[in-house]
Chain A
Amino acid sequence: MATTAPTPNPAPVPDAAAKAGPIFGKAAVFEAMAENAAVKALSELATDAKFDRKELTITVARESIVAACEAVKAAGYNFFEDLTAVDWYPQEPRFQLSYHILSHGMKERVRLAVRLDSAGLTLDSITPVWPSANFYEREVFDLFGIHFAGHPRLTRIMMPENWEGHPLRKDYPVEGYR
């Protein structure tokens, strides 16, 4: 274990992209990143966008998630990586779904986001586009209580079948109900 004072760190090399800073808003992102394949594919469907910490997030409406997935798949984003949700309770719209989609060819990923009101916790399943979304949608259903219309078998995957409540919601206590 070192007890001697460390040698000073060399000055960090400034990164041009990091200096550029984040870009928020659909118009600004779509102007700055007009060449991006996902931006091109979603020019109609996007409702909001941001480019923060070198990651592109495009928000789409709840109804158009399958169309958006088909559009980015056609644009070369061939690999579904991850789906999860974030509970922004008590804000509305309460839930955010984050789809991470990767392109093996372009070596980049895009995050598709959908915001859901607590009044309507249903959206279309993307399993017809990527069968790999099967377990992920079951997990979000199990832990957040969000329904995926058209999913072949939407059952709990982590918790027991007879479990009450959805543990990853923010109004569910960490220690559970006693």
Chain B
Amino acid sequence: MASLEAPDMITPGIEDVVANAKLHGNAGTSDHTMVLNMGPQHPSTHGVLRLVLEIDGEAIVALAPDIGYLHTGIEKTCEAKFYQQVIPLTDRIDYLCPMTNNLAYCLAVEKLLELEIPERAQILRVLLNEITRIQSHLVWLGTHAMDIGALTMFLYCWREREDTLRIFESISGQRMMTSYFRIGGLALEPPLEFREQVQNFLDIMPGRIDQYESLLTGNPIWIGRLQGVGTLSAAEAVALGVTGPPLRASGVDWDLRRDMPYSSYEKFKFDVPTSTVGDVWARYTVRLLEMRESVKICQQAMDMLAGMPANGRIVADAPKIVLPYREQMKTQMESLIHHFKIVTEGFAVPAGEVYQAVESPRGEMGYYVVSDGTAKPYRVHMRNPSFATLQALETMCKGRLLADVVAVIGSIDIVLGEIDR
């Protein structure tokens, strides 16, 4: 009965929940609790998450998440690939923010290589990351509202998400699994229509966020379902490893973009929205404000890019690491040799270990990369925000009603792909 003496806040295992229910059980009478299985195929668990709940009537007594249904051994696969071949794998960890995963991995390997990235590439990386953040929050808002019964929101959010996916498609050729970042910079020069496309999106977006708010913020059903539900205090959030919007909604003012800047985030001016309430409503307001801040950051990035020479470098000056331009490869012997060597043998990375964390839409995404001096990573580990945040689910749901579990799962915005890897 491990969970009975376990320190408070430790998420129990499934066996604990079942065993506890048997202890509490008084089968045959009216006062026994029951064990309910939720998932793994359940529309409101946002992926293949299984929950085992002990319920007393409608109230949650205990809850245990069961994960691993999407485990594909990405960390193990990384060890068998060249450094540059890992990038498409990182897309597939958190399929709602592929660019953020690309960035974290590339920054980690660049730190190992001690590579200097051109400013234009850094700004473009920031721009794309913030569009990714808006896109991810749109998916969150649409599905979260749909779980609670506001189906219309889903359609509105998907309308704007389509714009962001078109931007990704024009820049990388892919709508979701973009793999656009490279170790040392970016894959391709953005196409000519990129500027206009992004600017159009940034122009409409603030008005669209107003529209979402007009549909939800004053809605009495929405307020009733969100306010006071799933409360998490600042101390609990820190103890349970919660990061990102749920941490800030609990009153901890921490954002890696501002506090430990990477990829030239220090050049941007933006606010970090926080709340001290810590309930589902606070997470909703914090994320909506974050989308507005992201629009501001994107606009600053667009202005910075406009002030830079078009066609400026987007890759580091490292011919042994970055693939040569196609034109050069076909006309210069040396570039052809570099191309051949990088593709067939990869490039050696000096031995060492680094941990690089970035602020993903869901919180702190960290890549721990260990090199033994060869062309393949010795170990790649991803610290994913959803994995840690899921540990706080029991604390948030205990004592609440069964229907609130759906609201709480929506509010922590987990992606099972990155939990299971």
Query: What distance in Å separates the Cβ of B403 from its nearest Cβ neighbour in chain A?
Result: 26
Interface residues of A in 75-94 (CB under 8 A from B): 78-82, 84, 86-87
In the complex, A111 has a CB within 8 A of chain B? yes
Are A3 and B79 touching (Cβ within 8 A)? Answer: no
In the complex, B2 has a CB within 8 A of chain A? yes
In the complex, B164 has a CB within 8 A of chain A? no
Query: What distance in Å separates the Cβ of A38 from its nearest Cβ neighbour in chain B?
Result: 14
Complex Cα–Cα for A86 and B15 (A)? 30
Are B311 and A111 touching (Cβ within 8 A)? Answer: no
In the complex, B381 has a CB within 8 A of chain A? yes
Which of B32-40, B125-133, B291-299, B364-372 lies on the face that meets chain A? B364-372
Are B76 and A168 touching (Cβ within 8 A)? Answer: yes
In the complex, B114 has a CB within 8 A of chain A? yes
Which of B41-49, B95-103, B225-233, B349-357 lies on the face that meets chain A? B349-357
Residue of A nearest to B352 (CB): A52
Option from A9, A153, A159, A172 in Cβ contact (under 8 Å) with B118 = A9
A-B pairs with beta carbons under 8 A, tally = 150
In the complex, A57 has a CB within 8 A of chain B? yes
- With contacts A82-B381, A153-B3, A153-B6 taken as known, whether A174 is within 8 angstroms of B355 at the C-beta atoms is no
In the complex, B9 has a CB within 8 A of chain A? yes
Are B355 and A100 touching (Cβ within 8 A)? Answer: yes
Are B353 and A5 touching (Cβ within 8 A)? Answer: no
Identify 8 residue pairs between A and B in the complex whose beta-carbon atoms are under 8 Å apart, listed by A's number: A7-B313, A53-B354, A79-B238, A81-B364, A82-B368, A100-B355, A131-B240, A152-B7
In the complex, B71 has a CB within 8 A of chain A? yes
Residue of A53, A109, A130, A174 with highest tally of chain B CB at under 10 A? A53
Interface residues of A in 38-88 (CB under 8 A from B): 52-53, 55, 57, 78-82, 84, 86-87
Option from A1, A78, A100, A159 in Cβ contact (under 8 Å) with B366 = A100
Which of B52-60, B141-149, B213-221, B387-395 lies on the face that meets chain A? B387-395
- With contacts A2-B189, A55-B354, A135-B387 taken as known, whether A9 is within 8 angstroms of B75 at the C-beta atoms is no
In the complex, A128 has a CB within 8 A of chain B? yes
User: Which chain A positions have C-beta within 8 A of B381?
Assistant: 82, 84
Option from B16, B112, B312 in Cβ contact (under 8 Å) with A6 = B312
Q: Which 7 A-B pairs have the closest CB atoms?
A: A132-B241, A152-B6, A2-B189, A82-B383, A84-B381, A153-B13, A12-B116
Option from B71, B112, B314, B388 in Cβ contact (under 8 Å) with A159 = B71
Which of B85-93, B279-287, B320-328 lies on the face that meets chain A? B320-328
User: Which chain B positions have C-beta within 8 A of A3?
Assistant: 325-327
In the complex, B317 has a CB within 8 A of chain A? yes
Complex Cα–Cα for A78 and B242 (A)? 12
Complex Cα–Cα for A80 and B241 (A)? 6
Complex Cα–Cα for A83 and B80 (A)? 22
Are B311 and A7 touching (Cβ within 8 A)? Answer: yes
In the complex, B343 has a CB within 8 A of chain A? no
Are A7 and B370 touching (Cβ within 8 A)? Answer: no
Are B390 and A104 touching (Cβ within 8 A)? Answer: no
In the complex, B135 has a CB within 8 A of chain A? no
In the complex, B378 has a CB within 8 A of chain A? yes
Option from A82, A84, A134, A158 in Cβ contact (under 8 Å) with B67 = A158
Option from A8, A82, A84, A134 in Cβ contact (under 8 Å) with B11 = A134
- With contacts A52-B352, A153-B12, A168-B76 taken as known, whether A6 is within 8 angstroms of B368 at the C-beta atoms is no
